[in-house]
Structure 1
Amino acid sequence: MKDWVKILKAYHEGKFDRYFYGLTPRLIVGACQVPIGVPFENDIIAYNVTEKIFKEMRKYNKDGLIVSSNQCDIHKGPVMRFIEADWTESSIGTSFDKIWNRYSDEIIAGNFGISSYDRQILNTIF
């Protein structure tokens, strides 16, 4: 199972109970780094990894779960979560361009927004 799937399943199961609408793409991307939160070597790698995860999320349709996004007023951008619904081409509700335009500076800088609270949960997932 891919790491981002484990993270979104944990959110879906209520393990990230401080977050109400979903997890930021920057947190998901950073949590998928080995070790967790390690910055990317350069902006091209950051872009490619983020795009790969987004493409996988956009197509995900397993066990009755699909990836969907909500617009978060706190983060001023999309946040991601699993929902129980039928998959369509537009189920994810956002585009890679919107995610990259909002979160690219933070992802490239290695500012994934992973708090000590998040890290405790992530350590139980992996």
Structure 2
Amino acid sequence: MNWIKILKAYHQGKFDRYYYGLTPRMIIGACQNPIGTAFENEQIAYEKAYEIFQEMAEYNEDGIIVTSNYCGIHKGPVLSFTEGNLTAESIGTSFNSIWDRYGDEIISGEFGISDYDKEKLNELNELTN
């Protein structure tokens, strides 16, 4: 699964338990095949997370861009799609901020994917296959 499908589903209200966005660690873990598979090592985890972040920072399709909000529950940035014009600051966070907050969890394969998340991701996977 790719992060675009996940954020589109969130934007369409399919993850209705979440109000401000989805955590980068959950998105990255959901992009693993199978979902939630840990990375082989720290370098691969870092590179994959960086690649996804760069794609998000540059995403601009049909007036939809990626933005971040601070989530007090997770004490870090969460991500979502929003309508807007792409600028260098659109995403509202940096990769370093994401990595500082979620990097250890991403490296250890602790993606925070709940049973609720798995259910929604599996439904999404079935719809897109």
* TM-based fold match above 0.5: yes
Secondary structure in 2 matching 1:81: strand
Q: What count of residue pairs does the alignment treat as equivalent?
A: 125
Report the alpha carbon displacement of residue 29 of structure 1 after superposing the two structures with TM.
0.2
Does residue 57 of structure 1 match 2:59? no
Which blocks of at least 5 consecutive residues in structure 2 are unaligned?
none
Paired-residue identity, %: 63
Aligned to 1:98: 97
1:1-126 correspondence runs (5 A):
3-126=2-125
Q: TM-score normalised to the size of structure 1? A: 0.97
Report the alpha carbon displacement of residue 125 of structure 1 after superposing the two structures with TM.
1.4
The one-letter code matched in structure 2 to 1:58 is: A
Cα distance in 1 for residues equivalent to 2:67 and 2:46? 21
Q: TM-score normalised to the size of structure 2? A: 0.95
Cα distance in 1 for residues equivalent to 2:77 and 2:55? 16
The one-letter code matched in structure 1 to 2:94 is: S
Cα distance in 1 for residues equivalent to 2:79 and 2:113? 15
Deviations 1:55-113 (A, max 9, x none): 00000000211000001111010000000111111100000000000001100010000
Which blocks of at least 5 consecutive residues in structure 1 are unaligned?
none
Secondary structure in 2 matching 1:61: coil
Q: Structure 1 stretches (4+) deviating beyond 3 angstroms?
A: none
Over the aligned positions, Cα root-mean-square deviation in angstroms equals 0.8
Secondary structure in 2 matching 1:80: strand
